[in-house]
Amino acid sequence: MDVVPRVRATGLVVEGEPLVVMLSGGRDSVCLLHVAVELGAVVTALHVDYGLRGSESDGDRERCVELCASLGVPLEIRRVARADDAVGNLHAWARDVRYAAAAELGDRVAVAHTLTDQVETILYRLASSPGRRALAGMEAVRGPIVRPLLAAGIRREETASYCMARSLVWREDTSNTDRAYARARVREDLLPALRAVDPRAEANVLRTAEILREEALVLDEVVAEVIAGRAELPRAELAALPPALGRLVLRRLAEDAIAAPCARAAGRLGEVLALGDEGALDLGDGARAIVRAGVLSVGRTPARPSRR
């Protein structure tokens, strides 16, 4: 079946409804933009120019302008620059910047992640992030963010075929194969090695992620039953739980408190229990566990006082 009817079947791109499409100029986003137009969505495209690759960045921007003009799609271009003294993951910074820009343009934002991206993401997280959620992969729908190609089971080679069949020109980002980046090492080295072990490697990774997402729904219900709507929990009650369940409960309390993911909280269960009836412990990701009179609560980590 062609890409268009498969995306239509997901219900994530709807005729007559507004949709912001993130457009890098690469094959996947070019494919997604064209599909969204074919399905009759009221499309606005967003291209974020980070200016990190010199003339290549200029070429990406020009390709997006040409494509949107040919399709009659309004294009918003945002130029951003990372501070020279910035620290942390470059890709995470770029992701945060583009999602923030997209949120200013509309309530529904389409990202062109494919099934191939899903495999790479799971393998990357497996190496860099402990825990069940790391293996569950990206969600097809998360708040205002939708991933129609992922939901439709579209692979990267299919987006290339789609574009070639319609003479849609795309840009190749050379950083995608630059082994200086962990993602590129997963794509260029790890995946071929896994295929050499078993040609079904990618399918097996995806099926594992699907099973884990289904099991996560059950585990979430168990955790909710333990917490029972409470923001506080007796430390003794937490200690009496099986360790695996205790870790999940602590993580849920942390995430409820800060309204954001708190992956590191689960790994601090032993330290939290060791606090006894009084104490406090930073859980990471901006969350702090506090035990008073034997009752555990989680709040935000206080800001450090400014140095004068």
pLDDT digits (tens, 9 = 90+) for 96-109: 888 888 888 888 99
Helices (H), the chain: 3-10, 27-38, 55-71, 90-103, 115-128, 148-151, 156-165, 182-185, 191-197, 201-227, 235-240, 243-258, 269-273
What is the rounded CA–CA span in Å between residue 2 and residue 162? 8
Q: Provide the pLDDT for residue 305.
A: 61
Average confidence (pLDDT) over 276-287: 93
**Which pLDDT value is given to residue 86?**
59
Domains located in the chain, CATH noted: 3-197 (3.40.50.620), 229-300 (1.20.59.20)
- Secondary structure class of 61 (helix, strand, coil): helix
The predicted pLDDT at position 55 comes to: 80
Q: Is the predicted pLDDT of residue 91 greater than 80, yes or no?
A: no
- Residues 294/235, Cβ–Cβ less than 8 Å: yes
From residue 182, give the alpha-carbon distance in Å to each of 18, 217, 251.
35, 30, 27
Reported as a single tens digit per residue, the pLDDT across 121-180 is 999 988 887 677 777 888 899 889 999 999 999 999 999 999 999 999 999 887 778 888
Q: Is the pLDDT of residue 209 over 90?
A: no
Helix pair angle (156-165, 3-10), 10° resolution = 120
Cβ-based neighbour number of residue 296 at 10 Å? 24
pLDDT of residue 97: 83
Q: Band of the pLDDT at 21, cuts 50, 70, 90?
A: very high
Give 106's contacts (C-beta < 8 A, 6+ positions apart). 18, 19, 20, 44, 144
Q: DSSP states of 99-126 as a string? A: HHHHHTT-S-EE----HHHHHHHHHHHH
Among 102, 105, 94, 134, smallest CA distance to 118 is for 134
Weakest-pLDDT range from 85-99, 202-216, 283-297:
85-99
What pLDDT, on the 0 to 100 scale, is given for residue 84? 62
pLDDT higher than 90, residue 190: yes
